[in-house]
Amino acid sequence: MRFIFILAFIACLIAVATSAHCPLGCKRNYKPVCGKKLVKGYWKKKTFSNDCEMRNENECYGGEYIPCSEDYED
């Protein structure tokens, strides 16, 4: 029983340590934001629910999205 408790405690510590750099959840307000990133020479566009969702994608999941309104060639 003690072994299972220690194993569960270690799993919780690992989960907290790996997600510590990610921002907390976003509000559920719907203000669509267009984001784009360069993939193999082409712009990939994605619509996010709001600006916070795009920031989370970039910071937590390695996305490289920028707002579509920035002046880059499409």
What pLDDT does residue 21 have?
Answer: 64
pLDDT tens for residues 44-67? 999 999 999 999 999 888 889 999
What pLDDT does residue 45 have?
Answer: 95
| % pLDDT > 70, the chain | 80
Segment (H or E) for 61 = helix 51-61
Residues paired with 33 in a beta bridge: 48
What pLDDT does residue 72 have?
Answer: 54
How far, in Å, CA of 59 to CA of 61, rounded?
6
| % pLDDT > 90, the chain | 45
Alpha-carbon Rg of the chain, whole angstroms? 18
Residue 48 makes CB contacts below 8 A (sequence gap 6+) with 32, 33, 34, 35, 54, 57, 65
